[in-house]
A = this chain, B = another copy of it.
């Protein structure tokens, strides 16, 4: 208390219950809290009465709401929102070979821009403040990130079929955009997957990552079939390919998308990794493709963080990370045959600190604590579907929905207030995108950008 001598804060959020982490990273809830934000950073999280006198540019009265760290979508292809629902109820190889990869051969930068913009609108509405994107025409996605105000971890995807130019383009993108949008953009090298990028190319990518201090984000061991095919073809699993090409020894780490095909013999390989390793899990799509799910419990035992993700909307149908959080809890119980495993609090740990670590932002976001960037989401739990509250963690994970997010804040800037989007014009984006869909989805040309993994002949 006492005289306030510092300049006005930028934002003060008052009266909320805050989700915080204790010293053992346990989830705790502090009632009647005020959060003070200055220059994009959380300055304090404390009793509301102590901040009543803080001068501030903006004040949000959040009584009856819960402040949680912004959700992080640890693996998506945001522009694929344009293809939401285009390939339903079919196996992965048909999805890739017969629909998605033929359609993606039509893709233009304009399609990417409109898809990414709509994706950002969806994510802001769903309480997502940061996303890890792995796609093409990523210059365009970076521009959309700058414009919409989200935080993002971006990588330009490449296949070995593109020759060394693919890798070089990915590097050029990563270096040029690193730290862009006022620091909200971080970058990664983004080889597609071990079955589309050969060992020479992966080893060269690891070398570039070391040389330039960049992380790597790729698909690996997406399904059990991919693991079996890799064993049949190369005698090693996709995870062993990552090890032998040097990708498990990067200072800035490697982010593995999916990993539902990680087998027991992969665990010691991941455990002896000399650089940070994380896995992004998008459980909805695994159910839809009838794949197994990410072995979260085994990964926990060896200390590998598992972040939450949605994959692209063409397979997942939404970018709803809140749903990924609930499904992670539900599917893990079912997969392990253990209702005590993956409690609501564990799900919240995945959604916060583990997701931040997965995208290399473990020190910057993922918790509401002084010094962290102010990526904050306010959730309204007054609806009939979230009352009464016997256990706030359970209410957040199992009863609340992404549509209960009222306010989304990134770097202290309000991107959605009371469900009104402030940085995206959805109707205009939808209108423009609709005009492009006929050309985008035409498959009469018979081309595809790549061939899906098949068992060796």
Pair B84/A318 contact, Cβ less than 8 Å:
no
The secondary structure that dominates the A interface is helix
Q: Which of chain B's residues have a CB closer than 8 A to the CB of A333?
A: 89, 287-290
In the complex, which of the residues A329, A334, A399, A424 has the most CB atoms of chain B within 10 Å of its own CB atom? A334
Q: 1/0 contact trace for A304-341 toward B, CB 8 Å? A: 00000000010001111000000001110110111111
- Distance in angstroms between the alpha carbons of A316 and B441 in the assembled complex: 39
Known: A125-B383, A339-B290. A430 touches B90 (CB 8 A): no
On whether the beta carbons of A89 and B340 are closer than 8 Å, the reply is: yes
- Please, which residue of chain B has its CB at the minimum distance from the CB of A114? B388
Which residue of B is nearest A430, CB measured? B387
Instruction: Name the residue of chain B whose CB is nearest to the CB of A124.
Output: B384
Residue of A83, A427, A429, A430 contacting most chain B CB atoms (<10 Å): A430
Of B286, B385, B441, the residue contacting A318 (CB under 8 A) is B385
Inter-chain CA distance A91–B338, complex, in Å, is 8
Measured CB to CB, the closest approach of chain B to A116, in angstroms, equals 12
* Residues of chain B within 8 A of A402, CB atoms compared: 401
Which residues of B are found within 8 Å of A161, using beta-carbon distances?
A: none
Query: Does chain B have a CB within 8 A of A48?
Result: no
Give CA–CA (A146, B402) in the complex, Å.
32
Residues of B within 8 A of A413 (CB): none
Q: Is the CB of B88 within 8 A of A391?
A: yes
Pairwise interchain contact B84-A395, C-beta atoms closer than 8 A:
yes
Given that A289-B339, A383-B125, A401-B401 are contacting pairs, would A344 and B388 also be in contact in the complex, using a CB cutoff of 8 Å? no
Q: From A118, A286, A387, name the one whose CB has the most chain B CB atoms within 10 angstroms.
A: A387
Cross-chain pairs A/B with CB under 8 angstroms, 28 sampled: A84-B387, A84-B389, A86-B391, A88-B391, A88-B398, A89-B344, A91-B339, A91-B340, A92-B339, A121-B384, A125-B384, A126-B385, A287-B333, A288-B398, A290-B336, A290-B339, A317-B394, A317-B398, A317-B399, A318-B385, A320-B401, A382-B426, A382-B427, A382-B430, A383-B426, A387-B426, A388-B437, A401-B401
| 14 more A-B residue pairs beyond the given contacts A125-B385, A287-B333, A387-B426, with a C-beta to C-beta distance below 8 A | A84-B388, A85-B398, A88-B391, A89-B339, A89-B341, A89-B342, A119-B384, A125-B383, A290-B339, A317-B394, A317-B399, A318-B398, A382-B430, A388-B430
